[in-house]
Structure 1
Amino acid sequence: MAAPASEVSAFEVGACKGQKVVDGEAIPLVLRPSSGPGKSSAEALVAALAANRAWFEEQLVRHSAVLLRGFDVADAVEFNDIVEAFGWEDIRYVGPAPRTHIHKRVWTANEGPLSEFIYYHHEMVLIKEFPGKVILFCEVPPPEGGETPFVPSFKVTEKMIEEFPEHVKEMEEKGLRAKALGMDMEWLADGGVKTILGPRPLTRVFPGRKERRMWFNTVVGMHGKDISSAELADGSEIPAHVVRRCGEIIEEESIQFKWEKGDVLFLDNLATLHGRRPSLPPRKVLVATCK
């Protein structure tokens, strides 16, 4: 069994506004530097993470999200050092969001207009090879708004089964498809793409996560759009009132926190949906995605 977070000397357990307790676990787990000279430096943080890789990953799976707060992480170079401390394999982003490469494994997060709400999603959910971890770093916190809310995905499934058992059963049995001929995509090593026809599952169960059924789809965020996985594989539509209520459930179960400069947020992409609230400028959040 992993040692409690408080027993790892490099960190102290903290709290943040918006934190929730879900099934007895704090989400996110907030880790702050332990007291003592130099403990908050980026160099000390990288060393502590490298020395406690297995423990940290256990905490990430257990809590679905871990927020490192109060460390002196200044820029993309130091953020990249944090990402590389784990030895996790890089996975390049594939999708429509405008992003700019900054340094090694670090990119800008979605550069869409800050006035727009980016809807909750599992990163690259429509791509065959999706990341296991999404890591975000706040270099410039927005003066207002701009949160990155996230949602324990299994809670959405639980509530949907509770309220719409027959609809969920139908969606599970029939599967979902993209409106563009039901295509799935697999990106090849040479940069090409292979399209795959067939239904997509509504939920997914991933190892090590208590057999929880994750709401691993785009039923709400892409409902009614030309390219989505928000219709049933037999071509029938998901009732609008079901989609609408699902959106309400996602919002009700969401965890909101206000970015602080230097924050590093690790999300288990297999267990959490995440999005972006509208904000006033400036806002600079960087991202790395790992297998």
Structure 2
Amino acid sequence: MLESGSPKKPPLPRAARREVASDPAAWVRQEPLAAGSHLPIVLTPAMPGIDPAAWARASLPLVLRLLHHHGAVLFRGFDVGDAARFERLVRAVAGEPLAYEERSSPRSAVANHVYTSTEHPPEERIFLHNEQSYNLVFPSRISFCCVTASPEGGATPLADSRRVFARIPAEIRARFIAGGYQYVRNFGEGFGLPWQVAFQTQERTEVEAYCQRHGIAFEWRDRDRLRTRQTRRAAGCHPFTGEPVWFNHATFFHVSTLPRATGDALLAALGEADLPNHTYYGDGSPIEPEVMNILRRAYDDERIEFPWERGDALLLDNMLTAHGRAPFAGPRKVLAAMSSPLPWSAVPEVPAS
């Protein structure tokens, strides 16, 4: 206690206190990729040290709202640059990664159903598509992360499947919606994946059982060759947003979508019936060249590209957003994981117009 008349001590200065928002949504900035662009929405950390998986888990309703509105969410600046961190983020926002079944492109497993994105030759463009839309049960989420960005090219182009749907003339949409499309594969001609790789088995009986479970007609031919045929829907309404989407591989697997020299060489060597991949209308009749040109143009007119940065992670709603790959040169490593399985039976039909 101070004696009477003693001078009072000056108050101690208050330590400066850093204000930290309690709402996790404020820890991350949201911005478009470019002015006027809706796809993808870019999330960047507003402060250092944010664990993207922990943040995404705590902010999952926000992430899903953004995903359903934009179709694609790009995590940038969080350094999700290896398989372990990528897998944690995928589990936080999209659930358990899925095994790659009924394969159509060469990939290598990295860890726990995380794969290389594709191993097609780097000089080839991979056309826009929605992952495994030809499966009866397909992944409703597909995610990518960039471990090594190519010094030249190598973008993962995107297209909004809602806008692709809207660009296709109503009469063309109507025929595909009414009858679907047919996808024919031939295994064992020395082109494409062998059936042993596509179905991940050496046993014919396991292939037959898979086909029977998944509504695929199959035919064993001489020299251990296999032909499969499956008819699938071409469009549906997104189960959450209710919006109609163009969701199929009719364009991707049609021989005319290949570079002309490649397609012509395959047709000359094999004939149409023995092509590794080809598509038809649902009744098996050929899709007219002019229709294929319109379908390709609809995708290309909605195409959006951006250069990868190391540590980027991209989450796609597989029904809302198609993806592809631009040609590239030099080293490139992009990982992929599929998740959240969805059966076609849970996808509402597009209402008749």
TM range, smaller chain = 0.7 to 0.9
Residue of structure 2 in register with 1:144 after alignment: 152
Query: What does residue 244 of structure 1 align with?
Result: 293
> Which residue of 53, 56, 78 corresponds with 1:49?
56
**1:1-291 maps to which residues of 2 (within 5 A)?**
8-17=25-34, 21=37, 26-35=38-47, 37-39=48-50, 44-86=51-93, 88-94=95-101, 95-161=103-169, 165-179=170-184, 192-195=209-212, 196=215, 199-209=231-241, 211-224=242-255, 226=275, 228=277, 230-291=279-340
Unmatched 5+ stretches in structure 2:
1-22, 187-197, 201-205, 218-229, 256-271, 341-353
Q: Which amino acid aligns with 1:169?
A: A
Q: Alpha carbons of 1:73 and 1:200: their partners in 2 closer, same or farther (altered >3 Å)? A: closer
Tell me the distance in 1 between the aligned counterparts of 2:90 and 2:32: 23
Higher helix share: 2
In the alignment, residue 104 of structure 1 is paired with which amino acid?
Answer: N
8 Å CA contact 1:30, 1:68 repeated in 2? yes
TM-score normalised to structure 2 length: 0.70
Q: Distance in 2 between matches of 1:262 and 1:138?
A: 5
What is the CA distance between 1:52 and its match in structure 2? Answer: 1.2
CA shift for structure 1 position 258 = 0.7
Q: Which moved more, 1:129-138 or 1:89-98?
A: 89-98
Partner of 1:3: none
The more displaced of 269-278 and 214-223 is 214-223
Q: Deviations over 1:59-89 (max 9, x none)?
A: 1112100000111223111111212223613
Q: Which of structure 1's runs of 4+ aligned residues deviate more than 4 A?
A: none
CA distance in 2, matches of 1:208, 1:186: 31
Q: Separation in 2 of the partners of 1:87 and 1:171? A: 30
Q: Distance in 2 between matches of 1:48 and 1:179?
A: 44
Distance 1:15 1:277, change over 3 A: same
What is the aligned-residue identity percentage? 30
**Counterpart-to-counterpart distance in 2, 1:180 and 1:76:** 32
Query: What code does the residue aligned with 1:9 have?
Result: A
Larger Rg: 1 or 2? 2
| Partner SS, residue 134 of structure 2 | coil
* Alpha carbons 2:83, 2:111 under 8 Å: kept: yes
Structure 2 CA distance for partners of 1:57 and 1:148, relative to 1, 3 Å: same
Gaps of 5+ in 1: 1-5
Contact 2:97/2:112 (8 A) holds in 1: no
Contact 1:200-1:229 within 8 A present in 2 as well:
no
Kindly state the Cα deviation for residue 53 of structure 1 after the two structures are TM-superposed: 1.7
Which residue identity does 2:338 align to in structure 1?
A: T
Q: Tell me how far apart the structure 1 counterparts of residues 54 and 109 of structure 2 sit (CA, whole Å).
A: 25
Question: Offset at 1:15?
Answer: 3.6
Q: Is the 8 A contact 1:153 1:272 kept in 2?
A: yes
Question: Normalized against structure 1, the TM-score is what?
Answer: 0.84
2:81–2:312 Cα contact (<8 Å) kept: no
Q: 1:290 deviation in Å?
A: 0.6
